[in-house]
Amino acid sequence: MKTKLLVTISAFVIAIFANQAFSAGDEENIQKLSSFKSTGGSRGEVIPQDTKFAQNIKRNIIPNIKLPSGFKIGLFAVVPDARNMAVSRNKGAVWIGTRKTKVWQATDRDMDNAADTVEQFAPTVSFDIPNGPCYSADGHLYIAERNRVLWFPAASTSWKARTPWRSRSFPRVN
């Protein structure tokens, strides 16, 4: 009985410290973003879209996919570790979650159904398996992680104005 209790307490303590260590610095950045202030961070990683890999997909893979009549398929964006997606109301931005530590934003500025840029979304926030982006009908982006949900109400307009994202962290659930 004592062993079970000791193991349970140890696991609980490790979980608490792991969450605090992982999110170190996040609360300050999220507070700045909530006030539409810059976090002072860099722009984040940008993924080139005109690569040999993309050309190979367009030439050798897409033409071999069989579709029912009336359907068509094309390459929208090359995104590393893509998992789930959320599409903005005007279809100009797509947020892509991963099972790693990054969220990507693919932006189609000229509305030709292909992303013009793919860049890291909110690079100053330390995401923890952000595989659940959700874009609501009222224009807010939510990113569900392993143990928290982040709220970005200005996400769809941030790429146009280059203003920082506003966000709010909901409490972690262990």
Is 108 inside a domain boundary?
yes
What pLDDT is recorded for position 15? 40
Our count of domains for the chain comes to: 1
What pLDDT is recorded for position 161? 36
Is 43 inside a domain boundary?
yes
70 CB contacts (<8 Å, ≥6 apart)?
A: none
Q: Which domain covers residue 135, as residue numbers?
A: 27-48+81-169
Is 114 inside a domain boundary?
yes
Residue 37 belongs to domain with CATH number:
2.40.10.500
What pLDDT is recorded for position 164? 40
Is 72 inside a domain boundary?
no
With cut-offs at 50, 70 and 90, classify the pLDDT of residue 151.
confident
- pLDDT at residue 43 above 90? no
pLDDT average, residue stretch 70-96: 94
- Calpha distance 148→173 (Å, rounded): 7
Is 153 inside a domain boundary?
yes
- pLDDT at residue 144 above 50? yes
pTM: 0.71
Q: Render 122-166 in DSSP notation, one character per residue.
A: STTS--SS--EEEE-TTS-EEEE-SS-EEEETTHHHHHHHTPPPP
Is 117 inside a domain boundary?
yes
More confident residue, 27 or 130: 130
The token pair at 59 is 């030439």
Is 13 inside a domain boundary?
no
Percentage of the chain surpassing pLDDT 90?
Answer: 49
User: CA torsion sign, 138 to 140 to 144 to 147?
Assistant: negative
User: CA torsion sign, 76 to 77 to 81 to 85?
Assistant: negative
Is 164 inside a domain boundary?
yes
94 CB contacts (<8 Å, ≥6 apart)?
A: 76, 77, 85, 86, 87, 88, 105, 106, 107, 108, 115
